Amino acid sequence: MEIFQHFALLLIGGALVNNILLTRFIGLCPFFGVSSSMETSFGMAGAVVFVMTLASSATWVFYNVLLEPLGVGEFLYIPAFILVIAALVQFVEMYLKKASPGLYRSLGIFLPLITTNCAVLATATEAVKPGFFKMNMAYGFGFGEALVYTVGVALGFGFALMSFAALRDRLEVAPVPNAMKGTPMAFVTAGLLSLGYIGLGSWFGL
Amino acid sequence: MSEWFSVFKRGLSVDNPLTVLMIGLCATLAVSTKFEGAFFMGLAVIFVLTMSAILVSFLRHVVPEKVRIPVFIVIIASFVTIVDLMMKAFLPTVYDFLGVWIPLIVVNCIILGRAEAFSYHKPVKLAIADGLGMGIGFSAVIVVLASIRELLGSGQIVFLGTKIIGFPAWYKGPNIVLLFPGAFIIFGFMVAGAMALNRRMSARQVQTSQRCTIEEGGGS
């Protein structure tokens, strides 16, 4: 039971309380870039859940099997992780193109974008390097914990992205002052949304 | 030389990475709670951007087009590692504050975007101009945002342990300015301001160019 609680807290903590977009500002480029329509943000969310889970598992294994025993993890993790992620995304893209063209068509254009999305690199680093982010959670994740945490973060990313896309849809027709039209208003809206997420943090007492 | 300056100036005004192109937002909003952190973040970005622009532009005939993205990433990652280790050694307090944002410069869209869109096609001299211009444009916005937030939020600006400017002691800053929503909202107003400024400048340019064509037309 205790272990179940631990994993549930990791999942909720990653998804809502420490939402990667709205309370930590990681991965904001797609947040403002693709959120202008519901359809693209759904595609992006799907692609992020998919790639982030794979990338974190791959980098976790890579770090603990190769970098850490060799003693080079401290200064080689940045180039190593980004290369692992880039290679992984490339393989996934080629595999999807061959194996399931339908999924490839819906996720395809977002996959290359994700390579340079800081959310993927940040989550991979966070799942691997203990104490990397200063948060009130225990670190030194095992593989299962890293996986659950990553899935939580990815789901939180998707949820925030899609709720913001829905808000922006409504904003299109709202009477906004001329000077604030477009991106400035989107930023203010994101600020209000992020207020809500901060409220969640105190609600869970974390 | 005038071409050099016009490229340099674009990064500051009409192509400003933050207020116009909207790239590299994550780091900006996250580290802008403190003037000091924003200042050194700006310096780090200027360094990485300029050095990688020089190297990418220098190697542009050597690197085949198919593998350019991995090559760019390796170049950028090496410079980021230099900054990461240097800052850890010489400015430990700033490094603690910036934390994850230093390694995340690797995936900052500004740097890869400029390597891809500009330095890979242009000579070294112009690449330097672009790197410096974009870097300084980025730093200017992030430093202004951080000064507003630190001044309003905590009532004073502290730089490397010395107080530069501050409100009187009775001032109690609203906490929200230092929290995440404040960053979004203040940045939204800054973008609105920058857009208004750019619109005004382009309107004036259109006016002068119209006047020029009218005068030219009258002359001929």
- Which tokens hold the place of A202? 């105190």
pLDDT at res. B220: 38
Phi-psi category of residue A104: left, alpha or beta, with phi > 0 → left and psi -120 to 50 → alpha: alpha
* Out of B25, B74, B191, closest to residue A29 by CB: B25
How many whole angstroms separate alpha carbon A41 and alpha carbon A118? Answer: 17
Domain count, chain B: 1
Residues of A with Cβ-Cβ distance to B106 under 8 angstroms = 78-79, 82, 121
Crossing angle of helices A73-99 and A118-128, rounded to 10°: 120
How many whole angstroms separate alpha carbon A169 and alpha carbon A172? Answer: 6
Which residue is listed with tokens 């009258």? B218
How many whole angstroms separate alpha carbon A90 and alpha carbon A102? Answer: 17
Q: Does B123 touch chain A (CB under 8 A)?
A: no
With pLDDT > 90 as the criterion, what percentage of chain A qualifies?
0
In tens, the pLDDT along B126-184 reads 899 989 999 998 999 899 999 888 888 887 787 777 777 777 777 777 878 888 888 88
Q: Does A160 touch chain B (CB under 8 A)?
A: no
* Out of B29, B112, B185, closest to residue A116 by CB: B112
In tens, the pLDDT along A105-132 reads 766 666 766 776 778 888 887 777 655 5
Q: Does A153 touch chain B (CB under 8 A)?
A: no
Q: Decide if B143 contacts B39 (C-beta within 8 A).
A: yes
Residues of B with Cβ-Cβ distance to A186 under 8 angstroms = 188
Q: Which of A157, A126, A158, A163 is nearest to A141 (CA)?
A: A126
Residues of B with Cβ-Cβ distance to A23 under 8 angstroms = 180
Q: Does B92 touch chain A (CB under 8 A)?
A: no
Give residue B103's Cα distance to chain centre. 16
Predicted confidence band of residue B47 (pLDDT cuts 50, 70, 90): very high
Q: Decide if B24 contacts B138 (C-beta within 8 A).
A: yes
How many whole angstroms separate alpha carbon A164 and alpha carbon A19? Answer: 13
Other beta carbons less than 10 A from residue B94's beta carbon: 21
For the entire predicted model, the pTM comes to 0.79
In tens, the pLDDT along A24-50 reads 778 777 787 777 778 778 878 888 888
In tens, the pLDDT along A165-186 reads 898 888 888 888 887 887 888 8
Residue of A nearest to B104 (CA): A118
How many whole angstroms separate alpha carbon B147 and alpha carbon B194? Answer: 17
Structural domain of B212 = 2-219
- Which tokens hold the place of A162? 């899609």
**The complex's ipTM?**
0.75
- What mean pLDDT is reported for chain B? 82
CB contact under 8 A, B70 and A118: no
| Domain limits, chain A | 14-203
CB contact under 8 A, B104 and A26: yes
- What mean pLDDT is reported for chain A? 79
Other beta carbons less than 10 A from residue B217's beta carbon: 8
Residues of A with Cβ-Cβ distance to B104 under 8 angstroms = 26, 118, 121-122
